[in-house]
Amino acid sequence: RLFKAYTKGVVKLQPGNWFYTRPFLDFADKIYDFKFRPTDIVIMTFPKAGTTWMQEIVWSLKHPFESDNQLDGFPCVALSSKYNLLEGDFVKSTGSGLSAIQADDGYQLLQKHCPGKDPKNGVFLQIAEKISDPRIIKTHLPFSLLAPSLLNTCKVVFVARNPKDVCVSFYHHSNIVKTHGYTGDFNKFFELFLNGEVMYGPFWKYLEEAWERREHPNLHCVHFEDLKSNPMKEISKLNDFLDTGLNADQIERISDETSFEAMKKKEPKKCNTGTCPLMDRSKGSFFRSGTVDSWKKNFTKEQNDKMNEWIQKHSSNGNNFRLRFS
């Protein structure tokens, strides 16, 4: 009852006890059967780990001569031909149903790319099938709910972030994003997060599935914290991984154009007004802090101790993502 999003019920799916709202079941098979192409780049992240930042970087690497002065895609519109959210149909039907998709600017894309298609069959999935290569597809789904051939087919960029910052950022997100509609306080959210009972949870299992595949040549893992402290270095590594062949000047330009301040400036004005279809902007901005360790303002000492213990507990099974998170 704390989430408007949960009114249609929730499900826990194996093998990870993955926590989703019931409408996920309407799309789970279609998503699992989604055909990736060798030219695809998949950005895989737990929500709030830096998805939007990474998608802008990857887009810029693939399109070094196109400079955008306005963001396209989340958080401004849900549907975008630049980056398609693979499970977007489920996310949309979770909250306010088809009407929310129709109210979205990006709905026009379906008409453009897929004339005559029925939105009930999945607007996001149908657009994803139609957009031209190279596609940038983002997902918060774990490997185990996607096609097993994913990594053997195309490249995947995985972003990990300190769960303390993810938790605070997710709490904020759940407040402002209308499809989540969270009404509880931070303390309650903190407990749900630790229990793996917020959307896309549990957090550690999500990381573990990427960690298990870390040696695969088509998987590249980035830490939000590293990207923040040395964007040039991390973007250069991505340049190598994606074979985009850009020079140091071009990488520096991308680093500047994808900084927190630059991206915040590129948010269309209408996104920051009461007319934004996705978010209640009176409760805050999507570009909130963009920093490392902002959790310190929210956590009590008890919460910090508890989360440290939780991090410790998940350290025993060889998942070394955690080493950066204590």
- Residues forming contacts to ligand A3P in the complex (CB under 6 A) are 45, 47-53, 165, 169, 172, 258-260, 263, 287-290, 294
> Which one, of 155, 146, 171, 144, lies nearest residue 47 by Cα?
171
Please give the structure tokens belonging to residue 75: 């958080």
Tokens of 236: 């250069």
Whole-number Cα distances in Å, 206 to 48, 211, 282, 293: 13, 9, 32, 21
Provide the minimum distance between the beta carbon of 172 and ligand A3P in the complex, in angstroms, as a whole number: 5
Question: CB 241: neighbour CB atoms within 10 A?
Answer: 18
Between helix 186-194 and helix 301-313 the angle, nearest 10°, is 10
The neighbour count for residue 308, using CB atoms within 10 Å, is 13
Q: Distance between CA 267 and CA 287 in Å, rounded?
A: 9
Question: Which residue type is seen at 179?
Answer: T
Q: 165 vs 208, which CB is nearer to ligand A3P?
A: 165
Strand segments, DSSP code E, in 173-295 are 219-223
By C-alpha distance, which of 296, 286, 301 is closest to 164? 296
Helices vs strands, H then E, count in the chain: 15, 7
Q: Please choose, from the candidates 106, 24, 103, 97, the residue with its C-alpha nearest in 3D space to the C-alpha of residue 72.
A: 106
Of 205, 203, 212, give the one whose Cα is nearest residue 163: 203
Closest CA to 36 of 135, 142, 169, 172: 135
The span from the CA of 40 to the CA of 157, in Å, is 11
Q: Just list the catalytic residues.
A: 140
CA distance 210 to 194: 19
Q: Centre a 10 Å sphere on the Cβ of residue 242 and count the other Cβ atoms it contains.
A: 18
